[in-house]
Structure 1
Amino acid sequence: MLSRFFKLAENNTTIGRELQAGLTTFAAMAYILAVNPDILAATGMDRAALVTATAVGAAFSTVLMALLTNYPLALAPGMGINAYFTYSVCIGMGVPWQGALAMVFVNGVLFLALSLTGIREKIIKAIPYQLKIAITCGIGLFIAFIGLKNAGLVVAHPATLVTHGEFGAPGPLLALGGIFLMLFLVARRTPGAIVLTIFAVAAVGLFLPDGQGGTITRLPESIVDTPASLAPIALELDFTYITQNLWAAIPIILTLLFVDMFDNIGTLIGVTQRAGFLNKDGELPRIGRALVADSTAAIASSLVGTSTVVSYIESASGVEAGGRTGLTAMTTAALFLVALFFTPLILAVPSVATAPALVVVGVFMMQSARELDLKDFPWAAAAVLTILVMPLTFSIATGIGVGLITAALLMLLLGRRKETTVVTLVLAVVFLLEFLRTPIGHLIARLTS
C-alpha cells in the first residue's frame, strides 16, 4: 500500500530507504524543538506549550506537504522569522504576542491567496536578485548575533554599545566550546551535528555552576512525560491590535510575507534540485501544490501558537540519504510527534546549548554572500546596508526597508529606472512612509495646534 501510494518504484526507492532518510532529516532539524521555544519564550509565551506547538506545527505541515506533493520536504517554524517575531515585533515594537500571532495568520492568508492566483511567483521575480541574497545574508548575520548574545559572548556596553562578554565564565566558555564543536562536526558532515552538539553542551552543563547556586543545566524531574498542553497559546490570536494599529501592522505583515516567500521558494528549489525533480526547463512539477501546502502551513502555525512554519533546507540531508518521496517526510513528521513525549528533556536544555545552533545556522545563511555582485556600487550599497542594518538595529524589517529604499532612490537618481521594478518602488514608498510616520505625525500635530 505504501509503495503504491508514494510511488516508490517510480522514484527508484524502497520503504527502508525512505524510513532511513526520514530519520536523517529529523536528526538534522530536531534542534528546532529546543531552539524555537527558547526564542519565542522571550515574548512571554509558555515555553512548555511552545515545544508542543513547534512539534505539532512541524508534523502537520510536513504531512500536508507529503500528501499534496509526494516530495521529501519537511517543514518547521522558520529560523529568522522566529527571531523577527520575538526581537523585532514583540520586544522591539512592543506588540503583544497575541497580536503578532494574528499578523502571522493574516500573512498566511495573503500567502495562500497569492499562491492560488500565481501572483506569488511574480512578486518573487520582481524583487531584485541582489536584494534577495542580501536579505538572506542579513538574516543570517542577525541570527548569529542573537546566538552570541544568548551565549553571553556579546554583551551591552555603555560606550561602545556592544563588547565581548566574560569568556572565562562557565556559561560563555561552554557556549564557545559548543560553537567550535558544532562547526567541526558540520565541517566533517557528521549526521545530526547540530542536535548532537546541543545535547553534548547540555550534558556538560550538568557539572558547571551557573553562578546562582545551581548548575547551568538542571536535570528534569522526569525524562518522559505526556506532552504539554497547547491551551496557553493556541487560538490566542488578537486581531484588535491590527485594526487599531493598521499603519504600523502593514510593514510587519509585508516583512513576514517576503521572508516567508524567499525562504520557502529557495528551499523548495534547492532541495528538489538535489533530488532531481526539476524538469529540463528548470521547472518543478506540482509546484502549485507545494506553494499551497507551505502557505496553509503558515496559517496553521499561527493557530497552534508559533511563528511561521516554512520548508527546511535540512530536508536536503534526507535527500542525500536516498529519500525521494513523501514517505520520507511522513517519517520525519512521526518522529516530531514522538519527540513530544520527551518534552521535559527538551525544556532542560539551557540557552548556552542552543546558542551555537543560531551561530551555525547564521553561517549557513551567510554563505549566500558569494552570489553578491559587489562590483556595481549602487547595488553593492543597497545590499551591504541591508545586511548591516538588520543586526545593528535588531530588526529584519528595518534592514529590508533600508535596502529597498536605497536601491529605489539610487536607481531613480542615476537614471537606471529599468534596473528596478514597480514592486520594488512601491515597497520602498511603504517602508519610507513607515519610517517617517512619527516625524510626520509630529509635524501635522504642530501645524494643526
Structure 2
Amino acid sequence: MIERWFKVRQQGSTPGREVVAGLTTFAAMAYILVVNPAILADAGMPRAALVTATALGAAVATLLMAFLANLPLALAPGMGINAFFAYAVCLGMGVPWQSALALVFINGVIFLLLFVSGVRERIVHAIPASLKAAICAGIGLFIAFIGLKNGGMVVAHPATLVGLGDLTSPPVALFSGGILVTCILVARRTPAAILCAIALISLAGFFVPDGAGGRITRLPETALAMPASLEPLFFKLDFGFVVREPLRALPVILTLLLVDMFDNLGTLIGVTKRAGLMDADGRVPNLSRALTADSLAAIFSSLIGTSTVVSYIESAAGVQAGGRTGLTGVTVAALFLLSLFFAPLILAIPGVAVAPALVVVGILMFESVTEIDLTRFEIAAPAVLTLLAMPVTFSISTGMGIGLIAAVAIGLGSGRSRENLKPFTIGLAGVFVLHFLEPLFLG
C-alpha cells in the first residue's frame, strides 16, 4: 500500500529513510508549536487553543500535500504571515482576530480559484523579482524587530522613538544570551537548532529571577494532558469587517495572497530542486496539486482558528536526510498530532525563550536581500523603501504598498524599468494608493 500510494522505491528511497526524513523535518520546524501561539496570543487569541490549532493545522495540511502531490513537504502556520496577522492587522489596524480569520479564509478561497483558473501566472509575474526579494527580507526585519521588542532589548524612548533596554535586567540578559546561543547553533548547522536553543534558554530560565520574586521558567502541573479544546477558535470567522470597510480589507487580503503565493512557490522550487525531483526543464512535479493543497490548507487554517498555513522551507532538512515522497510528510503529520498531548510543556516555555527564535528566523529570511541588484538605483530604491517601511511603520502591507508605488512611479518616470511594469503591476500599485488615500475619501 505504501509503494502504491507514494512510489517510494521508484523515487530511489526506502520507507525507513522516509521516516527518518520526517523526524528530521519535524525537529527542524517544531518550534512553530511554541512560536505561533505566542505571536497570535498577542492579538488576544487564547494561547492553549492556539497550540491545538497549530498542531492540527500543520498535520492536516501536511497530509493534504502528501496524498495530493506526493512531495516531501511539510506545512504549518507561516512565520511572517502570523506576525502580519497579529501585529499589523489585529493590533496595528485594530481589526478583531475573528475578522482577521475571515480575511484568511477569503485569501484561501481566492488562492484556490486563481490556481484553478490559471490567473496565477499574471499575479506571479506582476511583482518585480527585486520586490519579491525585498518583501521577504523586509518581513525578516519586521520579525527580528518584534523579537527584539518582546525580549526587552528594544524599548520605547520619548526622544528617539526607540532605545536600548536594560541589559542588566535578568530577563533581558537571558534573552540577549539566547540570541547568541541560537545564532551559534544555527551557524554550526546543529540539527533542530532553533528548537534546541528554545529548550536551552527555557532550562536556564529555571535559575534566572523574573523580577517578581519567582523564576522566569516554571514547571507545569503536568507534562501530559488532553489537547485543549478548539471551541474558542473553531468557526469564529466574522465577515463584518469586509462588508463594512472593503477599502481597508482589500490591501490586507492582497498582502496575504501574495505572501502566501510567493512563500509557497519559493519553497516548492527550493525543496524540490534540492531533492532532485525537478524535471529536465526545471518544472516542479505535481505543481498544480501542490498549490491546490496549499490553498485548501489556507482555507482550513482559518476555520480552525490560526493564520495561514504554508509550505515550510525547513522541509529541506528532511530532504537532506533522504526524504523524496509524501511518506516523509505523513511522518511529520503523525508527530504533530502526537505533540497535541504535550501542550502543558509547550505553554510553560517563557516568552524570552521564544523571542530569540524570532530574531534568528528574521535573519534567515533576510537572506533574500542578496537577490536585489543594489547597483541599479531604479531597482534599489523601491526595494530599500520596502525594507525600511515594514519595521518602521510596523506594517508589512504598508511596506509592500510603498515599494510597489515607488517601483511604478520610478519606472514610469525614468523609463528604465518598464520591462517590469506590466499593467497588472500598475493595478496593484493603484490598490495601495487608494488604501493610503482612504482617510481623504472618508473625509
In structure 2, the residue matched to 1:48 is 48
1:427 maps to 428
In structure 1, the partner of 2:438 is: 437
The structural deviation recorded for 1:419 is 3.2
Give the CA deviation at 1:284. Answer: 1.2
> Partners of 2:357 and 2:56 in 1: how far apart?
21
* Aligned equivalent of 2:177: 177
Once the two structures are TM-superposed, the CA of residue 441 in structure 1 deviates from its matched residue by 2.8
Q: Distance in 2 between matches of 1:122 and 1:212?
A: 56
In the other structure, the counterpart of 1:302 is 302
**Kept after mapping to 1: 8 A contact 2:387/2:399:** yes
1:22-41 aligned within 5 A: 22-41=22-41
Once the two structures are TM-superposed, the CA of residue 418 in structure 1 deviates from its matched residue by 3.6
- The runs of 4+ residues in structure 1 deviating greater than 2 Å are 415-419, 439-442
Q: How does 1:87-102 map to 2 (within 5 A)?
A: 87-102=87-102
Answer yes or no: is the 8 Å Cα contact 2:5–2:67 preserved in 1: no
Per the TM alignment, residue 234 of structure 1 is displaced from its structure 2 partner at its CA by 1.0
Matched, 1:141 2:141: yes
Q: Which residue of the partner structure matches residue 9 of structure 1? A: 9
Asked if 1:361 is matched to 2:361, the reply is: yes
Aligned-pair CA distance for 1:38: 0.2
Q: For the residues of structure 1 that align with 2:363 and 2:425, how far apart are their CA atoms?
A: 28
1:252-295 deviation line (CA, Å, top 9, x unaligned): 10010011111110011000100011111111121000010001
Q: TM-score, normalised by structure 2?
A: 0.99
TM-fit CA distance, 1:415? 2.6
1:242-257 maps to which residues of 2 (within 5 A)? 242-257=242-257
Q: Report the aligned-residue RMSD.
A: 0.9
Of residues 118-127 and 239-248 in structure 1, the stretch that sits farther from structure 2 once superposed is: 118-127
Counterpart-to-counterpart distance in 2, 1:14 and 1:398? 47
For residue 163 of structure 1, give the secondary structure of its aligned residue in structure 2: strand
User: What letter corresponds to residue 355 of structure 2 in structure 1?
Assistant: A
The count of aligned residue pairs is 442
1:298 CA drift (Å): 0.3
Find the aligned partners of 2:131 and 2:14 in 1 and give their Cα distance: 41
**What does residue range 373-384 of structure 1 map to in structure 2 within 5 Å?**
373-384=373-384
In 1: Cα distance, 2:286 partner to 2:420 partner: 31
**Secondary structure of 2:277's partner?**
coil
Aligned to 2:324: 324
Deviations 1:401-443, CA, capped at 9 Å, x for gaps? 000000001111113434311111011111011101102332x
Higher mean displacement: 169-178 or 26-35 = 169-178
SS at match of 2:310: strand
Please name the residue that 2:199 is paired with: 199
The whole-number CA distance in structure 1 between the counterparts of 2:289 and 2:415 is 41
Paired residue type of 1:360 = V
Structure 1 residue 126, shift from structure 2 partner: 2.2
Tell me, in whole angstroms, the C-alpha distance in 2 between the residues paired with 1:211 and 1:285: 54
Deviation at 1:378, TM superposition (A): 1.5
Letter in 1 for 2:261: M
Q: Give 2:395's aligned residue.
A: 395
- CA–CA separation in structure 1 for the residues paired with 2:219 and 2:33: 18
- Contact kept? 2:268, 2:284, Cα under 8 Å: no
Aligned partners of 1:121, 1:309: CA distance in 2, in Å? 21
Structure 1 window deviating more from structure 2 (77-86 vs 171-180): it is: 171-180
Unmatched tracts of structure 2, length 5 or more: none
Q: Distance in 1 between matches of 2:163 and 2:331?
A: 44
- 8 Å CA contact 2:139, 2:390 repeated in 1: yes
Residue of structure 1 equivalent to 2:217: 217
Which residues in structure 2 correspond to 1:61-210 (within 5 Å)? 61-210=61-210
Measure, in 1, the Cα distance between the counterparts of 2:94 and 2:371: 36
Tell me the distance in 2 between the aligned counterparts of 1:327 and 1:242: 40
Q: Deviations over 1:3-55 (max 9, x none)?
A: 33211110111111111100000000000000000000011110000000000
Q: For residues 69-109 of structure 1, what are the alpha-carbon distances to aligned partners after superposition, in whole Å with 9 as ceiling and x for unaligned?
A: 11000000000000000000000000000000000000000
Equivalence for 2:233: 233
Letter in 1 for 2:211: G
Contact conserved, 2:27 with 2:192, CA < 8 A, in 1?
yes
Structure 1: any 5+ residue segments left out of the alignment? Answer: 443-449
Between the aligned partners of 1:294 and 1:166, the Cα distance in structure 2 is 43
Alignment of 1:264-283 (within 5 A): 264-283=264-283
Instruction: Provide the rounded CA distance (Å) in 2 between the counterparts of 1:370 and 1:192.
Output: 25
**1:129 CA drift (Å):** 0.5
Separation in 1 of the partners of 2:287 and 2:422? 25
CA distance in 2, matches of 1:9, 1:97: 46
* Deviations 1:167-221 (CA, angstroms, capped at 9, x unpaired): 1111111111111111111111111111011011011111211111221111111
Report which stretch shifted further, 51-60 or 160-169.
Answer: 160-169
Q: Indicate conservation of the 8 Å contact 2:54/2:306, yes or no.
A: yes
Letter in 1 for 2:429: A
Cα offsets for 1:104-136 (capped at 9, x unmatched): 000000000011112113311221101000001
- What is the one-letter code of the residue matched to 1:320? Q
